[in-house]
Amino acid sequence: MAKMKSHRGAMKRFKVTGSGKVTRHKAYKSHILTKKSQKRKRNLRKGTTLTSADQKRIKSVLNV
């Protein structure tokens, strides 16, 4: 039987923490940054955790 392959695109975008939560980066930080405030751009730098609904889906793709 062949091994299950993990989704390589998802591996680059998500990380699993020691407690088992999945972290991600925030969106809307790539372009059209002139109209966004400094506070908004600064808060977009920080990572965040996935919701419990999404965690189950992403963990299956990551083979965790």
pLDDT in tens, 20-34: 999 999 999 999 999
pLDDT on residue 64: 77
Hey, what are 34's tokens?
């002139």
Q: Full-prediction pTM beyond 0.85?
A: no
How far is residue 33's CA from residue 63's CA, in Å, rounded to a whole number? 35
How far is residue 12's CA from residue 42's CA, in Å, rounded to a whole number? 22
C-alpha separations of 36 from 26, 43, 52 in Å: 14, 11, 29
